[in-house]
A and B are shown apart, each in its own frame.
Chain A
């Protein structure tokens, strides 16, 4: 019984560490996505805003990154939200896996805005996401749907499309 308890405790500690690493890499991926999108000059203000919907360690990883890096000349600002509506002036909206059911609603609210919608879970391109993270065979990868991205007036760099898994 003691062994089982210890095993479970260890698994909890290990999972937390592993999860943090995954969030860190997702944050770095998002940072790279931001650099590989042709943003219209009129989009948002001077800051580059990423909004994270749902409780996700990704937000704190992004905040760490924001202290180190800029997107072009813009400071990186990270916002957090629990709702699909009321999100304004964001360049990227990341919908965490736990809130993935909100993706079609977010997409509807943002349909006229120059915003890149990124999902923390596979299969969300069909619900309006431009990029959707997934893990397979030990790799972190992403689905990319240029059609959804372009519908927001954005254009992805060819390199980004080539590196992702294309979804029509």
Chain B
């Protein structure tokens, strides 16, 4: 009885005690704040966590973690504090991208120091890291593509090995996939292989965890028929298995239907009333006008008589339409292994700068590709293999530019930590195969005429040593064996960082990187029959399997400081020297000089045409050398939880030595005219049949030194301000500036004025599931062109929604 009474009283007083002392989860923030350390230390962990939840992590804490104390993994191939990164590197999180209002991945890169982003047509961009763009100039537009930056998705190269460069519209992923974008500035071939000449952009996709929303996405629509959408389904089935499926879509129109034609003296446009308008400079023309324009000097049409306008430009008003779907499976069995499998498909069509060589700067491009990527971690061994296949038409309507692609990569790396020394040996293999033959009809000439392959076998080692507990020394070496050119290339990176107290870092880097070979450089085999056009009659483009790959050496000094826990400043000064540039350049010109040509003795042009000039163009190195010096300054500052600002600016100057100031067409004209001048002195030999060919490979040899390269802006940068007046409202604005540029290609010179673009977004959080926003790109409608011979880019106004559940 006594026992029962004791139990009863214990339960009663126990319950009474509970009634008097509220559960932690029932406590107010004030009550938690008033608890002493002693009282808090009595709480078991689960109660302590609830107390922390009641008190809440300050938004300042979260913001500084997100913006100031970031992790980066691409600079050393392992997670480290971005503040300690030995290389110039930037991490752009998904949240930062959302806050900026950027509507494409390319535009979001405007937030990253050192990146030049210029819009060509609505949603299609030129993206360069630090510069060295459009080299060698006085060339085809294709030489303005960025062949110096390696783009990757989760370490999988997204590079166009046909021409070199990045086909941004062929990315299968959208914002729904992305966790963050990491950018490493400076030569990084020693870590990532060729083409990381000026750096690396690594897009890292999001992991699916228990905290991931089941459904999330965004949709927005606006002017110029701009629609974008992203959707993700994510589910963690257990601690071992998670899956996700994502999709993305974009549709964007240009602000006009006309396309740009390069300037030419005396272009005539007949009208229906028998009149003729004369044009002496480049400009925008309708497709109908393009088809009817005539060269007043020769009477020949400006367009290629073999072209079908409707095939060249299926929808000239459309700037970009693309969609992609992706799937991810993450499997972490018990033990030391983990597996990430992803796969996807994309389809895109864009009207942007041409990769071909027509009289217009515009061209259509279609991609229809798929991929599979497997990453496996087994202890400290990391394996990755992936395959990308599909079809790409690099110049729609221009026969011979459609290819089947097949790209395979495999790599293995071992992460070996021995006290203060980290060693990372690795091997990798890449094969890129392209085949145009399935799309050639009859005896049609493509630019490959068969299946061509580039492959690379590489071995690398990276050592990262912490000396004296402070001084970090890094040496990375990589050797690459290419099949074309059949050569061994070495790239390296030596870096050191020294902390000066907790909040200062100084660092230095010396590195070398090189481009890989590209299919058009090694394997071009294209005969251009120019019947009905100005001489020459035939131009044959040939690849070169034995040339030197473009290589750059760079020295960089950097300084980072955290003046307070809420601010980080980063300064870097760099100087680079690049060489072994090359281009498809005339090797020789040949005239077929039969006695019949003399029937046109009264008309030199007709006589020249009768010789059916044949030009042999071969990819070859040039003596060109580019020296770049520059500096980048960036700052992230969480002023208050309601006010954040970010800014960056880059100043650079590029100087060219051994600059050869001649275009392909100028050389061809010189060679043809030189041969034409030999016809009359050799008339007797030609008439008697003793001479049937005249050939020359003479080229001017004069070069210039200390030429300022003006295709890259001398100054560009961004200022971003984010203001949250109340919890539910976020106002974000960023301005992006590029200074003036002078762009020279083989047909024309374009002066690009300095441009300031102001973007703004207002986001209202409706509830925990949805936010609505108004988004203005180029709010002030500064309607000028950002890239040579491309559209003027004005304002786009949009409204949209972001959701998660």
Contact = CB atoms under 8 A, between A and B. Distances in A.
Interface of A: 7-8, 10-12, 14-15, 18-19, 21-22, 24-25, 28-29, 31-33, 35-36, 54-55, 61, 64-65, 68-69, 82-85, 97-102, 104-105, 107-109, 121-124, 126-128, 134-141, 147, 159-160, 163, 165-166, 168
A108 B79 contact: no
Contacts of A33: 45
A165 B210 contact: yes
B15 interface: no
Given A84-B420, A135-B62, A11 B639 contact: yes
Contacts of A7: 639-640, 643
A166 B71 contact: no
Given A64-B37, A85-B469, A108-B417, A22 B45 contact: no
B37 A105 contact: no
- 10 closest A-B pairs by beta carbon, nearest first, are A168-B332, A83-B469, A32-B45, A101-B84, A11-B640, A18-B58, A108-B417, A101-B80, A135-B57, A138-B56
B288 interface: no
Contacts of A100: 71, 80-81, 84
A117 to B, nearest CB: 13
30 contacts: A10-B640, A11-B639, A15-B64, A15-B565, A15-B566, A18-B58, A25-B40, A25-B52, A28-B40, A36-B45, A83-B469, A84-B420, A84-B466, A85-B419, A101-B80, A102-B466, A104-B422, A105-B422, A121-B69, A121-B71, A124-B79, A127-B79, A134-B65, A135-B61, A139-B52, A139-B56, A140-B52, A140-B57, A165-B209, A165-B211
A25 B418 contact: no
A14 B565 CA distance: 12
A89 to B, nearest CB: 18
Q: Which of A36, A99, A122, A140 has the most CB of B within 10 A?
A: A140
B496 to A, nearest CB: 14
Nearest to A25: B52
B565 A25 contact: no
Contacts of B566: 11-12, 15
Contacts of A168: 239-240, 332-334, 338
B37 A68 contact: yes
Nearest to A26: B52
A98 B502 contact: yes
A140 B50 CA distance: 10
Interface string B723-752: 000000000000000000000000000000
Contacts of B53: 138-139
Contact of B502 (A25, A54, A122): A54
A55 B502 contact: yes
Contacts of A159: 45-46
Nearest to A140: B52
B83 A98 contact: yes
B28 to A, nearest CB: 15
A138 B57 contact: yes
B681 interface: no
A95 B60 CA distance: 21
B41 interface: yes
Nearest to A12: B564
Given A18-B60, A19-B61, A124-B79, A29 B210 contact: no
A136 B422 contact: no
Q: Which of B52, B56, B419 has the most CB of A within 10 A?
A: B52
Contact of A126 (B60, B61, B79): B79
B44 interface: yes
